[in-house]
Chains A and B, each alone.
Chain A
Amino acid sequence: MFQVRIHGRGGQGVVTAAEMLSIAAFLEGRHAQAFPSFGSERTGAPVVAFCRIDDREIRLREPVLEPDALIIQDPTLLHQVDVFGGLAREGYVLINTSRTFDALGVGDFARTLRADRLCTVPATELALKHVGRPLPNAALLGGFAAVSGRVSLEAVAAAIRDKFKGEVAEGNVAAASAAYAHVRSDMREASHAQAD
């Protein structure tokens, strides 16, 4: 079972992101379960949502306590909420930012994890460019597809089109595709740097 925890703030589409990820996994024939951390969510308040992906029926209903991947939609949460709690050492971390892990003040922690599984993507900027609104969720799923390979970009696009229609859907698909390309390019540079 592969477990994803998404952190963000009310209004950033955190719950929708988990739901779309589950749809993407479902479209690829997997079992998936998405659910929010249930609260009286307010705009701007910290929000968590979860997605589990497996090849068999998922029965577990506890929150994701030991994530295999973290998607952090809002880097201001890094020093406010225990976002890294329970993260597997082999886990993936994707942060919505154009800054580095060091600049965000989590460089030391990041160095305890696998470098090829950490990445950043300026998802809010990509959303503003392609959707016209600062909603980073769909773009981050494109980035997640790139860094983890757990779902394809095509499935993410289909999930976005399942949730949204028309221009909004296409804008989000474009943002997800741009984020995918961004992460892929960063990963290529990193592997070349390593090879050098």
Chain B
Amino acid sequence: MLKQTEGSRAVAEAVALCRPEVICAYPISPQTHIVEALGGMVKSGALTRCEFINVESEFAAMSVAIGASAAGARAYTATASQGLLFMAEAVFNASGLGLPIVMTVANRAIGAPINIWNDHTDAMSQRDCGWIQLFAETNQEALDLHIQAFRLGEELSLPVMVCMDGFILTHAYERVDVPTQEQVDAYLPPFDPRQILDPSEPVTIGAMVGPEAFMEVRYLAHAKQMRALELIPAWAEEFRRAFGRETGGLLHTYRTEDAETVVVALGSVLGTIKDTVDELRRDDVKIGVLGITCFRPWPHAAVRAALAQAKRVVVIEKSLAVGLGGIVSSNVRTSFTGSPDAVHPIIAGLGGRSITRASLARVFGAAIGGNLEPLTFLDLDRSLVERALAREREQRRSGPIAEGMLRDLGVVAARIE
């Protein structure tokens, strides 16, 4: 049914349609509306056969999800930002134990400085934790990916993180098509766990493994993710047949057929990029877009094929690997057959900085003209940086950088001398 609703509400409805049996919740913006809505559904009886558990922290949320999943329950939770970091140890355990938990990460920056706005630093910090990571471009895709995530995770016995841009998607009202219970039931069979804690047939989930087999267990985790590379496109195709929508898959290309320049990105910024590319196409610029839906496992062969014709690649990434540059671009370089120097990392949108068509068009033009530095920070306020650096040169005790910058901007009251 078509609805005009908030992204968080759409995701909550999708999760409810997947018949979760345990939902662990600890509030952190911007995911709070999702678990709030699910809590409401459990309380009202709209979502039955589901236990909603308020926990005392994100670490507890993931730990309870692990216990629930090991006991054979379909388990779901959601988090963001510092919450994801606080549960990090349990996040690795969930994947290491092979428990198919589904978790929404409503992407948000990581402090310090404290910042509640969107970027991808939270999800990127966990990119090697062994979870499958899917990134949604729209609220429709966020809704659909959750339905696919339960099926994918349960088939492989691996947890799946569905990443959606915090605020930009979670708090946006837009049109979504919410499927029926019958449609979801036909696509997603009941959870049939590959391992289960059952007193009548005792097993150990989480046995200590020494050097004799640790490598082999890890190898299998990798091999399973490689299998996901085959299942994800197949199930996206099945989803298309069942629901009539192209959602999910490993990646999406847009106007790349003859593109000399391909822009790579993840998540909701792809929409703004596509609009920018349409404008440039009107001026006969041969430019296209590659949207990565599945970031882990990294779809190496599919990215390689999608970039085969490209002379240059511009990667718009909402996270910064401090001391290196771009994370997505580093991954793209492993799959690009051209020169690594033709892959241009553009760090953009950190901490909620708006990414505009005007700025994108400028940076794409600079890439095509060969005028980019090895690492670009989109719309960086150089004068603000220079003032902070000058303070550090002038005095040893130059003070906290964040506060100094806010004072330069006039955001906080000037110091009372």
Contacts and interface: CB of A to CB of B under 8 A. Distances in A.
Interface stretch (B169-177, B179-187, B194-202, B300-308): B169-177
Interface string B142-186: 000000000000000000000000011001111100000000000
A38 B29 CA distance: 11
Interface residues of A, number: 21
Contacts of A62: 272, 354-357
B275 interface: yes
B286 to A, nearest CB: 20
14 contacts: A18-B173, A22-B173, A22-B174, A32-B175, A33-B174, A35-B168, A38-B30, A38-B167, A59-B274, A60-B275, A61-B268, A61-B269, A61-B272, A65-B356
A61 B275 CA distance: 10
Given A19-B6, A22-B4, A61-B271, A35 B173 contact: yes
Interface string B270-296: 111011000000000000000000000
B359 to A, nearest CB: 9
Interface string A1-22: 0000000000000000011001
B175 A35 contact: no
A23 B173 CA distance: 8
A161 interface: no
A31 interface: yes
B118 interface: yes
Contacts of A19: 6, 173
A34 B175 CA distance: 10
B352 interface: yes
Contacts of A65: 356
B4 A23 contact: yes
B116 interface: yes
Contacts of B118: 38
Nearest to A15: B171
B357 A26 contact: no
A59 B271 contact: yes
B279 to A, nearest CB: 11
A155 to B, nearest CB: 11
